[in-house]
Structure 1
Amino acid sequence: MTETGSQPAAPEVDISSMRCVWNGQARLGEGVLWSPRRQQVFWVDILSCQIHALHVATGTHHAWRLSEEVSALAEREESSELLIAMRSGLAHWSPDAHTPAPPIWVRPETGRTGNRFNDGACDAKGRFWVGSMDFDCQKATGALYRVTPDGQSARLEDGFPVTNGPVWVDEGCTMLFTDTAGATVFAYPFDPERGTLGPRRVWLQLAPEDGLPDGMTVDAAGRVWLCHWGGGCVTCRDPVSARELARVELPVSQVTRCAFGDDDLRTLYVTTAREGLNEAALAREPMAGGLFAVRVSQAGVAPARMASS
């Protein structure tokens, strides 16, 4: 990443607009995705094997239960189906013709039976990047995979108990990827044409009081919005220095993933979790597991779609 000398300004966050738009007490809310095509916010409850959707204009909520854990979502370029990451692999799934057990399209990872897939996203060329993790968040068996539109997969990184991300900054020339258990976000030189990575460096190491880095997104100014598991917030950070520019406090501690949505891409949607919280913590956090929304001054970036083969 190149230091340009000009630093992004701190965004304005309208904290008064903060609301819980769905208080359904997800065990492990994750994978939030804005669909411009459908004008819906999609997200998942990984441990309940559910996909959720909220139609913004009407407030209509839908939920679908699948045959196994589902963790990440992406739209497809020339199909109304979604690409979904399930425990055992990637599948094509349609909200309109719900199939509880869609056939697995690609199995990027085999032989690691204690793993499941976790966070994922498409790059600007329509390749899908997805991380795996140890189901118990202990063993360093998680990896990062690149899946091309023709279904070819490759392992690019290895050796993580829990993975999250990725996102791309620096006009797509740097990829950020999270080692959640290690409290570290790494930066990799990224070749946008070939989809290859250079040697990694530490972009951010969170202090214990800030929780663990989880999912993230970027805005149109290139700033990174990072969720803090156990830290009860989303922070906005400079894409070069990782310096904190703004902090959005939530009334729950386990903050998992965020994405910009609505027509102007200025609503930040945030998923949360209640898994692992004891009765006392749940009494303090009655909205744990809910989907939150807050308005910000800077538009986000529409999510890239999986390209056609």
Structure 2
Amino acid sequence: MVATPETDIPSNRFNDGKSSPDGHFWAGSMSLNETDPSGSLYSINEDFKAEKQEGGLTISNGLCWSLDKKYFYFIDTPTLQVVRYDYTNGNISNKKTVITIDAAKDGYPDGMTIDVEGNLWIAHWGGWQVTRWNSLSGEKMTAIQLPVSQVTSICFGGDDFSDMFITSARRGLTSAQLESEPLAGATFRLSNTGFRGLPFYRFKNA
């Protein structure tokens, strides 16, 4: 066990997590009922001490850092927004909305990563796709359709980080939906996409 910052909230669970440029591990929590704003965002340092960075979250999801490591991007799914914080000395401040998602058109924003050009890639729950967004203008640049509706996350891998790995879920789908989506719950690998990601940051423990 690395850290247990929410032993007093048994109705919560953790969702997405990722290591930061300075070697800390960031992870967000959410309510099991997916409606209560009881979730929080934590950073865990090299001594395994958890520090609460943000609260009042409903479905803590995608997170990543800008190429220059000055900004932190984050998704709380029901807000339909990607927010950006200043990232200084392992802490976040000055929250700003940079992308707003149209749920009726694109589904709900879920997991997220960044490519070598500084553009954000978002997986869409209920949207059958992953999309690429300009992190400065908030403009949608690219959409890649998938044969599953509940797309959960995306990252880059492979020898030169030009392969996309995309996860999906089958939870909550009816038998009819599962029949029409036989690949629901699968992990997809898309090769030679023309896009490249970055190596992952590693957790640095004492």
Report if the CA contact (8 A) 1:225-1:258 is conserved: yes
Q: Distance in 2 between matches of 1:170 and 1:163?
A: 22
SS of residue paired to 1:226 = strand
Distance of 1:199 and 1:205 partners within structure 2: 18
Q: 2:17 aligns with which of 108, 120, 123?
A: 120
CA contact (8 A) 1:170 1:239 kept: no
Counterpart residue number, 1:216: 112
Counterpart in the other structure of 2:194 = 297
> 1:234-275, CA deviations, whole angstroms, 9 ceiling, x for partnerless residues?
001112122111111000000001110111110000000010
Question: Partners in 1 of 2:137 and 2:173 — Cα distance?
Answer: 33
Superimposed CA distance per residue, residues 61-87 of structure 1 (whole angstroms, 9 cap, x where no aligned partner): xxxxxxxxxxxxxxxxxxxxxxxxxxx
> 2: distance between equivalents of 1:220 and 1:170?
8
Return the letter of the residue paired with 1:201: K
Alpha-carbon separation, structure 1, partners of 2:168 and 2:75 = 17
Taking the aligned partners of 1:106 and 1:208, their CA distance within structure 2 comes to 34
Does structure 1 conserve the Cα–Cα contact (< 8 Å) formed by 2:60 and 2:75?
Answer: yes
Aligned mates of 2:67, 2:87 — CA distance in 1: 10
Structure 1 residue 202: deviation in Å? 1.2
TM-score, normalised on structure 2? 0.95
- Partner of 2:162 in structure 1? 266
1:98-109 pair list within 5 angstroms: 104-109=1-6
- SS of 1:198's equivalent in the other structure is strand
Give the deviation of 1:179 after TM superposition: 0.9
The Cα shift of 1:119 comes to: 0.2
What is the aligned partner in structure 1 of residue 102 from structure 2? Answer: 207
Matched, 1:136 2:33: yes
Matched positions, count:
204
Q: Distance in 1 between matches of 2:2 and 2:18?
A: 17
The amino acid across from 2:118 in the alignment is G
In 2, Cα distance between the equivalents of 1:116 and 1:172?
Answer: 28
User: Aligned equivalents of 2:170 and 2:77: distance in 1?
Assistant: 17
Paired with 1:244 and 1:307, the residues of 2 have a C-alpha distance of 34
Q: Which runs of 4+ in 1 moved over 3 A?
A: none
Q: Which runs of 5+ in 1 are unaligned?
A: 1-103
Counting only pairs closer than 5 Å after superposition, residues 138-157 of structure 1 correspond to structure 2 as 138-157=35-54
- 2:133 maps to which residue? 237
Offset at 1:109? 2.1
- 1:199-250 CA distance string (max 9 Å, x none): 2111222112211100011111111111011001000111212211111100
**Alpha-carbon deviations, 1:76-111, whole Å to 9, x = none?**
xxxxxxxxxxxxxxxxxxxxxxxxxxxx23112221
Identity of aligned residues (%): 35
Q: State the shift of 1:165 in Å.
A: 2.1
Q: 1:249 aligns with which of 110, 120, 145?
A: 145
Tell me how far apart the structure 2 counterparts of residues 212 and 230 of structure 1 sit (CA, whole Å): 6
RMSD: 1.1
Matching residue's letter, 2:176: A
